[in-house]
Structure 1
Amino acid sequence: MKYPFIVIDDSPIDCLIVKKVIGFSGKSSDVKVFNDASQALRYIEDKGEENLPPLSFITLDIMMPVMNGFEFLDKFIELPQSIKDRYKIVIISLSNNEHTTKKLMKYQVIEAIVEKPITMDKFTTVIEKYS
């Protein structure tokens, strides 16, 4: 099965890498890339409930300017349940310190935490649960 993906990362290089890994996996029907989490949130809000596929994935970096990953998650969990249920969030981050991990564990909307650099093996391990 193929899924739509939303990639949120302020680094154009990391976005390119994640997009390539998603593409090579053969699991994507569409990939939207956002370098600003606030724009991605606006896109999700504007899309609403009507045109949503049954399941989409969001890959989210944590350390970003403008709106960081934690701020995105705080806003995301305020969305209607019918929208939240359609997304699986995968954190892709360099930060693997205990404080960050504990803070992330408080968000029930997170499906997985993957440490950068992302590889095909790390990616497919998360996505294959839904195939």
Structure 2
Amino acid sequence: MRISYVELPVKDVAAARDFYAGAFGWSLTDFGPDYAATTTGDVDLGLNGSEDHPIPCVLPIVEVKADLEGALDRVVAAGGTITVPVFAFPGGRRFHFRDPAGNDMGVFIVEQEAAG
């Protein structure tokens, strides 16, 4: 497992997308009106303007290849606090947690059937 995604809170997804495209030449894909992301397969950047699942700060996200619920159980057993329960998004599912030091992070799994 590794951090494979960093999500930024934004008010205006289109303006943020245009900024990163102009500043760094990044290509971002729109996933609806309130989300855009790079899709390089390396450490990708997401721009979160969602009112349903807003984030308060920069959110590093760890990718797991299998067993999202097992990862959630391990986070809790290690002393983490779940701040957003498991939810589906186009292409997968994820949850957010706060570690004992107060840092917010997320964990996701790719599941194409979750997109429907």
Q: TM-score, normalised by structure 2?
A: 0.29
Q: TM-score, normalised by structure 1?
A: 0.27
Larger radius of gyration: 2
More helix by share: 1
More strand by share: 2
